[in-house]
Amino acid sequence: METYQVGLIGLAFFMVLALLAFSSWRRRISKQQLTLPKPIWVSGSTNGFKCLYVATTFADRPLERVVGHGLAHRGEAYLLITASGLEVTRTGEVSFLIPKKDLIEVGAVSAVIDRAVEKDGLVSIKWKLGSQELESHFRFVDANLRSRSLSELSSLVGA
């Protein structure tokens, strides 16, 4: 067998693996979009607490990322407390509202899925989307801003 043939076989094998990974990801997105209702989309605002959106997971399955309805990707975000609830504005992604009535709990954690930070370095917001409980996680670089946001967000729970 010639060297180029071995290379072609290797390339074909790699492409098959990449195709399988891509189709698996698309299948997961489709499945979640069928089982989870759409969040309430908002136009978004760059007011509020500046942070990083890390991930949204299922509350009962903390190692499973919510990928449906555009919630998969991390990035810069702003959290704005409004009369209706908490607006999550994400740069380059869909922005959504967590209604006050759907907020369950606000706390601080040190790790989520693939991100570990200092003790209590992530703000975790537990909320309901339809009948499913989710947890969205946010990273604040400034500890003072993190504690201020925790305090203000905690006041929303049960309001």
47 with 94, same domain?
A: yes
Report the pLDDT value the prediction gives residue 61, as an integer from 0 to 100.
Answer: 92
Report the pLDDT value the prediction gives residue 147, as an integer from 0 to 100.
Answer: 92
Report the pLDDT value the prediction gives residue 34, as an integer from 0 to 100.
Answer: 85
60 with 121, same domain?
A: yes
pLDDT below 50 — which residues of the chain? none
Q: CB-hemisphere CA count at 13 Å for 39?
A: 27
45 with 106, same domain?
A: yes
18 with 87, same domain?
A: no
Q: Domain range holding 17?
A: 1-35
The count of domains in the chain is 2
The 10s digit of each residue's pLDDT in 88-120 is 999 989 999 999 999 999 999 999 988 888 888
* C-alpha torsion angle, residues 47, 53, 58, 63 (rounded to 10): -170
117 with 144, same domain?
A: yes
4 with 58, same domain?
A: no
Report the pLDDT value the prediction gives residue 159, as an integer from 0 to 100.
Answer: 63
Q: Cα–Cα distance between 88 and 71 in angstroms, integer?
A: 11
Q: How far is CA 107 from CA 2, 31, 149, in A?
A: 60, 29, 10
